[in-house]
Amino acid sequence: MIRIVRPRLPDTAAAMLADQTSKIEQAVSQIHMAKRLWKDTNVRSTVLTPHVRPALERMAPGIARCMYCGENYGTDIDHYRPKSLWPLHTFDWLNHLLSCSACNSSHKGNRFPLAEDGSPLLIDPTTEDPADHLHLTLATGDYIGLTSRGEATIKTLGLNRGVLVQGRARAVRDTVRLMREWRIAIERQDILLEEIVLNDLRQQPFTAVADALFRQASGIAVMTIFSADLDTLAFLRDPEVLETASRALVGR
């Protein structure tokens, strides 16, 4: 999971969402109305499919990857706050995240853990930096919760399920290879190859792995990973390289 920048929706699309929220507000049963409108084919064809989903895909990590696990293609528009519990947030743009069916249906569902003071425990990557709550162990591919919110997010979304841990381990190797290719491209002043590498870096699954690699660049774990390629390690630790790489992850 990485920090995601949420753009402002065009006024036309925002007005369409507000219109649906108004209908829910006026309903006798807000939950029933929210669920009905969300499934309505006309609402989907005029609001969700042409406006909301494309905006989520553009802001998602990788190539329209799940904003939670980062591996799978984002198949669902997930409600950070479940619509069955907060119906008035059903068409709230700030409540929409792109999710895969595994994270959305198989794990999160209507689960939305709260702290004793009523604040959310589940991390919203569009309003905060997940790295403040989650540490990715590069050697194993496992997440460690740094806070109660990190622990709750891991548990709620199943972020340490086997297939994800294995995928992150593979992503470490892929990212190391890309860093080496990037260094070689710069040394050769091969602008085209550099552009290709940065695009691959941006579009690969598990961008959280690359993000963790850059954040932990000065650590012992990264030194161990690059023990056979100290030139690339030195390249990775260059502040300018780190800044460029971080921007590349979110396509900026």
Q: What is the pLDDT of residues 79-117, one digit of tens each?
A: 999 999 999 999 999 999 999 999 998 899 899 999 999
Distance, CA of 93 to CA of 211 (rounded, Å): 26
CA distance 137 to 164: 13
| 53 Ramachandran zone, left/alpha/beta (phi>0; psi -120 to 50) | alpha
Closest CA to 134 of 1, 225, 245, 3: 1
**Residue pair 225/212 in contact by the 8 Å Cβ criterion:** no
Report the distance separating Cα 201 and Cα 138, nearest Å: 17
Q: What is the pLDDT of residues 112-165, one digit of tens each?
A: 999 999 999 999 999 999 999 999 999 899 999 999 999 999 999 999 999 999
Q: Which two tokens stand for residue 97?
A: 């995240």
Enter the tokens of residue 176.
Answer: 């190391």
What was the pLDDT predicted at 104? Answer: 93
Which candidate, 252, 248, 86, places its Cα nearest to that of 175?
248
What confidence score (pLDDT) does residue 221 get?
Answer: 85
Q: Using 50, 70 and 90 to split pLDDT, how confident is the model at 246?
A: confident
pLDDT in tens, 175-214: 999 999 999 999 999 999 999 998 888 888 888 999 998 8
Helices (H) and strands (E) in the chain, counts: 12, 4
DSSP 70: S
> CB neighbours (10 Å) of residue 69?
25
Structure tokens at 102: 């595994």
pLDDT digit string, tens, across residues 35-61: 999 999 999 999 999 999 999 999 999
Beta strand residue intervals within 87-215, DSSP E: 96-99, 134-137, 142-145
- Alpha-carbon gap, residue 206 to 150, rounded angstroms: 18
Total-model pTM: 0.89
